[in-house]
Structure 1
Amino acid sequence: MSAPLDKSNPVSIRSSNVSAASALGDAYYNGSGVPQDYSTAAIWYSLAASHDDLVSEYHLAVMYSAGLGVQRNNSKAFYWFNKAAHSGNVAAELAIAEAYANGEGVGQDQKKASYWYKKAADSGNVTAQTKIALRYADGIGIKKNQHIAKQYFHEAASKGDPVAELNLGNFFQKGVAVHENAAQAVFWWMQSAKQGNSEAQNALA
């Protein structure tokens, strides 16, 4: 039987209490059963994350990124996003792709950004699918390939991403990696425009 977790003394955590510490982090973060307290949530997440708890690593990274309960620190956010990403957390994969793309908390590196966007995209993340499609289309951090770009745009557009819908419409309108098809262009622009995308709305005007 694991030792009981002393809620009044976070530093008393043992490896067997990691799940409980993560759960307490959730409780304080969401105000579930206890008053919402981001600072206390960060303490519990930090303790669980230090024992390689994947969910806590991600939540702690989000808190450092947003400055919730801790002083905002992009370097620490990247550290924890990176740990979570290397353990297979798809949201963290997207986060470090963004960090490399924008040079936040780490040196800007477009090749690494594309690597992580693709990894998250291949795990089904729709935002990453659109991002890597744009990179294949323009050759940013990865070899330009309009056919692969079209595949990712189509996958993301099929899930309702308005930017992917816009770009897929553009591909059909220009005949890029597909046969030129005005009807398909209008169809995808309409899907994007319905979600408020101004470029798609202008394309239909």
Structure 2
Amino acid sequence: MMRRLFLVLTVALALTAGDFEDGREMFNLGHYEKAAKLFEKACVAGDKRGCYALEYMPSAARQARSDYQAVSKKYEERCRHGDAAACFKLGVKYNYGLGTRQDYRTAVTWYQKACEFGDGEVCYKLGRHYVDGKGVPQDYTVAGKFFEKACAEEVPAACAWLGYLYGHGYGFERDDKQAAAYYQKACEKGDARGCYYLGHMYDKGIGFRQNYAKAAELYEKACASGVADGCSGLALLYQYGYGVESDEKRAMELYGKACDLGSDEGCRFYRILKGAGR
């Protein structure tokens, strides 16, 4: 029953991507009311793109395209006078192609202004652009600088990314202690990937003395928040009794959850345990 529920949730999240794309199409056709409803639906279902689009739309969605362009000019003027929110909304416009051609490079320009004016969330988005090479050359060092700004502004995902860069030597000299510190901060602030990566360090004895019980605790947090790797890691500990009491039934359940969350490894181990009649 639980596996079926997770499968339904996974499918539902996939469908929200269609709500956003449909909303963007309606927006660019000038059907702003329909677009707003689709963006709101996507946002409520967990698609952040829908939320970002709604940030841009409120004062423009119900106006004619000419009025909408006038609103864009107002945002440009406000941005130039230090309004971080206005800069962010302009970045959203170009990042997602709302009423204009999608243009990552121009989006980055506006996001950078918003970041300079102290918007940590936008600094994080900029860091992701430099990691992914969207509109800018891929550059982990520059990404790290934006993540540092965002992490200082208490954006947990940025702290997790900093941990990842330090832990893998991308853009910085590899430093396991720094990686662990950033993962710890991210996890404490609610970023599930941070919990998973910190758990992995305890699991493998990277930067710490190996501690399976601590790894299990952190994997549990990550898994509960929908991180497939956290579920797989915790399943392995239950399968072999590392840091927890051995429980192959629980291990199979966790592998099944990881599978439903999209982990090929979880699917493979779930089939193995199920085939063994456990």
TM-score (structure 2 length as normaliser): 0.64
Deviation at 1:203, TM superposition (A): 4.2
Equivalenced residue count is: 199
The answer as to whether partners of 1:5 and 1:13 remain within 8 angstroms in 2 is no
The answer as to whether partners of 1:189 and 1:203 remain within 8 angstroms in 2 is no
Match of 1:49 among 115, 118, 122: 115
Q: What corresponds to 2:179 in structure 1?
A: 113
Distance 1:147 1:82, change over 3 A: same
Distance 1:107 1:202, change over 3 A: farther
Deviations 1:137-174 (A, max 9, x none): 12212343222111111222233433222222222222
**Farther-moved stretch of structure 1 (171-180 vs 82-91):** 171-180
Query: How far, CA to CA, are the matches of 2:138 and 2:221 in structure 1?
Result: 35
* 1:60 corresponds to 2:60: no
**Farther-moved stretch of structure 1 (57-66 vs 83-92):** 57-66
The amino acid of 1:157's aligned partner reads C
* 1:14 corresponds to 2:81: yes
Q: What corresponds to 2:202 in structure 1?
A: 136
The amino acid of 1:50's aligned partner reads E
The answer as to whether partners of 1:153 and 1:165 remain within 8 angstroms in 2 is yes
* 1:85 corresponds to 2:151: yes
The answer as to whether partners of 2:156 and 2:186 remain within 8 angstroms in 1 is yes
Q: What corresponds to 1:185 in structure 2?
A: 251
The amino acid of 1:152's aligned partner reads L
Q: Please state which structure has a larger fraction of its residues in helix.
A: 2
Distance 1:187 1:72, change over 3 A: closer
TM-score (structure 1 length as normaliser): 0.85
The amino acid of 1:22's aligned partner reads F
Distance 1:60 1:190, change over 3 A: closer
Q: What corresponds to 2:169 in structure 1?
A: 103
Deviation at 1:183, TM superposition (A): 2.2
